[in-house]
Chain A
Amino acid sequence: MNDIGNTAVLRACGVSKEHGQGQSLVRAVDELDLAVPTGEMLAVMGPSGCGKSTLLHLLGGLERPTGGEVWLAGQRIDTMSERALARLRRRSIGFVFQAFHLMEELSAAENVELPALLAGCSARTAKRRAHELLERVGLADRARHLPPELSGGQRQRVAIARALVNEPLVILADEPSGNLDTAATLEVLRLFEELRSAGQTLLIVTHDERVAATADRLISMRDGTFVDDTRLSDSATMRLGDLIGLED
């Protein structure tokens, strides 16, 4: 597909994921090539069942491909031992999920601290980072709240702070707005936009057009393959007034 250069922090070469055998063989992901340059915000969009979540799992080392290779920052990850892969996921990849996956019995701050502690940070460092990140996502005043006491948008922002705590090379988000209303989606998009400006690499799998439209680049996926790859950030900005028709 695009140039697979040295600047790609994440790349896949001919990656496939097959389920079943013989007649019932399904190629959820069918020999895909992908290169995500550092600092890019990439959205992968497609109907449910097109394989986009499977692709995200393959790229994040949550599932192993049945063919092809996955590379993260010059390291091949699809052949790593389970142990090495778990460590790499913890340190180098930040995951954001539709259902947030926060620990309900831990406070917002403790949820953010947890991956830092698991990665070997001192308790003090973990606390400091969690505090900084909650401030960054605008939730410093909710640090002691439990997830059930937070709104959907706030929970997703905690989840994003948690994803950032080990300064990952890439954030992988699977339907991050799937459980959010319009206002909460806007909160999350503002945050993504801020991360993007700060140079964070983001790959977002979504069926939400509004999320997709904010990306630098948009890939459309159907039946396990890419059918379109568009650079949205290059296109000229239109006059906003042209979006409405108030003539005569």
Chain B
Amino acid sequence: MQDVVLAMLAKEPTHGYHLRARLRQALGPLGEAMNAGQVYVTLARLEKAGLVSCERTDGLPDRPDRKVYSLTAAGQRRVADWLAEVSWPKPDLAEFHLKLAAAAAARLADPVALVGAQRRELLRRLRDAQRAAMAEPDGSTAALLLEGVMLRLQADLRWLDACERTWSAGMNESEG
């Protein structure tokens, strides 16, 4: 979130509420969970770290948000570093994989049943994402994010199919 807020400030110095509006627009329906304070908390941290500076302006009396944030030189360097970075979230599959292995080894639960429950949960998520995508206008950038979410869920569902095949075939045979 810090890097995102910094990069959004690179366009021009701006108010917190304007940043928040731009974030929400880019995220579309997926941005609804973002609480109002999140951007301000992040900005405060960035200011403390010397990555943004903040200037009070004489705003209107009915608009309490009078702080204009801008990038410091260090902030600009960090944005450049972030853009050049090629990190990527790691798929978090090991925990579920080990859950199946442990459940089968201790005969605590049927791995195939665990896979089934997990599949239902992912399908529910996929359904919600799909409904949100259907409601987005063509060419919306928020729809692109939903597309990514759905493709990952599809990949996970296919992996669960592979889990099911292996565990339903191997259950009665070897015990590792």
Is the pair B29, A240 in contact by a Cβ cutoff of 8 Å? yes
Interface centre among A182, A232, A240, A246 (most CB of B within 10 A): A240
Q: Which residues of B contact A114 (CB under 8 A)?
A: none
> Which residue of A210, A228, A230, A241 is within 8 Å of B150 (Cβ)?
A210
CB of B25, distance to nearest CB on chain A (Å): 14
- The DSSP consensus for interface residues of chain B is helix
Interface centre among A186, A209, A237, A247 (most CB of B within 10 A): A209
Q: Which residues of A contact B58 (CB under 8 A)?
A: none
Q: Which residues of A contact B147 (CB under 8 A)?
A: 182
Q: How many A-B residue pairs have CB under 8 A?
A: 76
Question: In the bound complex, what is the Cα–Cα distance between A213 and B149 (angstroms)?
Answer: 14
In the complex with contacts A189-B134, A193-B134, A240-B129, A212-B123 CB distance below 8 A: yes
Is the pair A210, B154 in contact by a Cβ cutoff of 8 Å? yes
Q: C-beta contact mask, A153-187 vs B, less than 8 Å → 1, else 0?
A: 00000000000000000000000000000100010
Indicate whether B99 reaches chain A with its CB closer than 8 angstroms: no
Measured CB to CB, the nearest residue on chain B to A242 is B33
Question: In the bound complex, what is the Cα–Cα distance between A102 and B32 (angstroms)?
Answer: 43
Is the pair B32, A214 in contact by a Cβ cutoff of 8 Å? no
CB of B60, distance to nearest CB on chain A (Å): 31
Which chain A residues (193-248) contact chain B, with CB distance < 8 Å? 193, 209-210, 212-214, 218, 220, 227-228, 230, 232, 235, 237-244, 246-248
Indicate whether B19 reaches chain A with its CB closer than 8 angstroms: no
Is the pair B128, A244 in contact by a Cβ cutoff of 8 Å? no
Measured CB to CB, the nearest residue on chain A to B153 is A209
CB of B33, distance to nearest CB on chain A (Å): 2
A-B pairs with lowest CB-CB distance, top 10: A241-B33, A213-B126, A213-B127, A209-B154, A209-B157, A240-B29, A235-B124, A213-B123, A239-B33, A243-B149
